[in-house]
Chains A and B, each alone.
Chain A
Amino acid sequence: MPSPVDIFLWGAFPYIAVAILISGLIWRYRYDKFGWTTRSSELYESRLLRWGSPMFHFGLLVVLLGHILGLFIPAGWTAAVGVSETFYSFLAVTLGIVAGVLTYAGIALLIWRRRTTGPVFLATTVNDKAMYVFLVAALTAGLATTLINASTLHYDYRVDVSPWVRSLFVFQPEVALMARTPIEYRVHTITGLVLFAIVPFTRLVHAFAAPVQYLFRPYIVYRARDPRNLGTAALRPGWKRSDV
């Protein structure tokens, strides 16, 4: 029988985090479209950014892809197409380390740049600084997990972690599976979920503006004036009640 802490962490907290993520996104979209931006600092400094930013972002995309493959494709499926367990974990660990180190080096370079470049540091808000703590915590835990896994090579996360994640989606969380995983997996999961929860309230929200639709759009955009949105004044009736 899992402890109440386990039940909360692996049975409730994921839902809470995702609920905060979704409602936060909706709320921010409705009330802060204007603040929904990358707040790029490339104008101030581009030499370091040119290396750090693609390293971090592309690394993160690979990391994301790795998570999706690892968590959502059951071991049985890969075995069915003839991928042996050793080959799979070799591939996962190698790709994970490469992408993880790339991402980590990227964020390190970006934070160093942010701290040492005067204008960029000046444009850094308290919110940004707090966000970096959570982001780096999640990345550190993730990279550490990969490295520990690589050095020991005796734990297969597709036995416990992946089924637990999939069980969340059918609203039958198998708390016991997650509760017995090694500590680094649990730490990474929690820091990751916390990161999910804060995304809508930080500049990370720009990830949800990824402009995929650009690929399918005609080049030139025409728009008619919105008749509801003329001037800054609200629409009022064209008459006024007399005080008499």
Chain B
Amino acid sequence: MRVMAQICMVMNLDKCIGCHTCSVTCKQTWTSRPGVEYVWFNNVETRPGQGYPRRYEDQERWRGGWKLTSRGRLVPRAGGRARRLASIFANPLLPNIRDYYEPWTYDYNALFDTPAGDDFPVAAPRSLISGERMNTITWSANWDDNLGGMPEHESDDVVLQRIQDKVRMELEQTFMFYLPRICEHCINPSCVASCPSGALYKRVEDGIVLVDQDRCRGWRMCVTGCPYKKMYFNHRTGKAEKCTFCFPRIEVGQPTVCSETCVGRLRYIGVLLYDADRAPEAAATPREQDLYPAQLGLFLNPHDPEVRRAAEQAGIPHDWVQAARRSPVYDLIATYGVALPLHPEYRTLPMVWYVPPLSPVVEAITASGHDGEDYRNLFGAIDTLRIPVSYLAELFTAGDPAPVELALRRLAAMRSHRRRINLGEPVDPEIAASVGFDVDKLDRMFRLLSLAKYEERYVIPTAAAGDVRRLEETELSGCSLDYEGGPGMGGTESSGPFGEASGRPAPLSVETFHGLRERQTSESAAETAGHRGRINLLNWDGRGLPEGLFPKRREDGDGHGDGHGDGRRDGHVDRGEEPGAGPGEVSGRGEGGES
């Protein structure tokens, strides 16, 4: 037994309202830079739907994940090492930018530069890839949000195709839920296995899968390798990027940005202990439907003194073992058994799990005029509503309905049980017993799932205590800009002597800071001449004026710009006449909050 610890996430899909706050805050933090405009480390898909990138689950096409050879060996589905190297010059399994979507901005300047006329000027979309005007925007990361375009795109849902089931249109009416996705930080990551340079690695301490930007050579094999298509190619720097599980936050005990900002409070983060020795064996389980129980079998019970001793012998810090004992993730996955892995059939042993949504079932019963909260009705409905269950089973258990049904039954039992308490009816221990729980256990599950206290949702041990001082950017440990190359580097225009992307990379926070500042203070919006100077309102922090949204103010006599003051109010706005004719660039706007 070789005990390893992994930071793991569980999402409770019942609570996801599809608001995309996680996606937006993640993008704001990690991918609001040129080169990764099309990248969403976190995205929220509506199911049924195609997903992002389109039809990523079609492994017949993309060949992500692992496959079992006839001799029982695991090899990447796209081919072994030699095969990968042979296709290194052109990789037919690499998605095109249009499989994601072509990122764009708008010609906001046109709203002001257009001469007065009979028609309203429009801000036309402009591609951030080619710099050219786009006549029609046809796709984006969540274009089929809320079943948008469903009758047309329904046949494109890979999962739906697999359940050879009837009544599809009816399913569309009764059944829809949201699926937020981040990198799965798999125990058996096929992206890592596909990387020819060895730049991708799984961190020993917390199991987070990261890209070493200095070792990545841009061979793009990881994009093919990942069956979830959560590896991305930064087309500006020529390097792979991926969800980092917000490791700088995790290391100091904070939840990821997507979790922190989740309005539904549906994400849980905690430590899982697993037996790394048995992982290859579990990933090579012959039957795909057995992969979920096999992975479940890898997880070690942190309440077992034997396991704790083995963990400490394996060098796992004491506070990590303690955190594993309080782990909400372990409870949802193992103790209550309501969380399930996403697409275990890819054999990567994913570590972001999901509590399947019960709400569509409840809604379906209520719509048919029955009491949707009664557990007998609910249990019956779970059994008879084959379509949602088989759809969920295709997502979470490689098609085996039993674990999904059990999870939904437990959720249903919790619902009925708590309703009796709310209505002042006597507690019926029969409800808990019907799903193999006692009342106390059902109540504890309710507390974790429904009350979902912050400190119970996130139990995150910090990195080794001795390192804490260096992780926090205090006065003692120096300035956070004190990296090689010094402050003032970074920003979207910094490049080494070999053109774009050469030279030392600035820390991402610094690049984002400069990018934000440049976007706020540069003169033009959607520059046709290149990637620079684009305006992205997502990045506007509300301070100052986002440059390019408003025309330049004419230099007036009073000499000093009024800092924070709202420049629009005094109405010195040139419309149409000689844009940019002012002698100097001096203006106080936008600077106040930054410098």
Contacts and interface: CB of A to CB of B under 8 A. Distances in A.
B218 A222 contact: no
A93 B369 CA distance: 84
Contacts of B479: 233
A33 interface: yes
A125 B503 CA distance: 15
A35 B85 contact: no
Contacts of A39: 218, 237-238, 500-501
B319 interface: no
A122 B218 contact: no
Interface string B228-242: 000001011111000
B573 to A, nearest CB: 33
Given A35-B496, A201-B498, A236 B238 contact: no
Interface stretch (B22-30, B113-121, B151-159, B201-209): B201-209
Contacts of A223: 201-204, 212
A111 to B, nearest CB: 16
Q: Which of B219, B471, B504 has most chain A Cβ within 10 Å?
A: B219
A151 B223 CA distance: 47
Interface in B100-149: 127, 129-132
A240 interface: yes
A128 interface: yes
Contact of A43 (B132, B233, B237, B482): B233
A41 B235 contact: yes
B582 interface: no
A231 B470 contact: yes
Given A32-B498, A202-B498, A222 B97 contact: no
A42 B197 contact: no
A233 B195 CA distance: 29
A180 interface: no
Nearest to B213: A34
Nearest to A128: B499
B501 A35 contact: yes
A202 B251 CA distance: 37
Interface in B150-202: 188-189, 192-193, 195-198, 200-202
A84 interface: no
B351 to A, nearest CB: 14
Contacts of B561: none
Contact of A215 (B85, B129, B193, B202): B85
B202 A221 contact: yes
B380 interface: no
B220 interface: yes
Interface in A122-142: 122-123, 125-128
A43 B239 contact: no
Given A32-B502, A43-B96, A215-B85, A236 B476 contact: yes
A54 B90 contact: yes
A43 B94 contact: yes
Interface in A35-70: 35-46, 49-51, 53-54, 56-58
Contacts of A38: 217-219, 238
B104 to A, nearest CB: 12
B454 interface: no
B551 interface: no
A219 interface: yes
A37 B215 contact: no
25 contacts: A34-B503, A34-B505, A35-B496, A37-B501, A40-B219, A49-B90, A51-B90, A122-B530, A206-B217, A214-B81, A217-B198, A219-B192, A219-B193, A221-B195, A221-B198, A221-B202, A225-B204, A230-B467, A232-B481, A233-B480, A233-B482, A233-B483, A238-B476, A239-B476, A240-B475
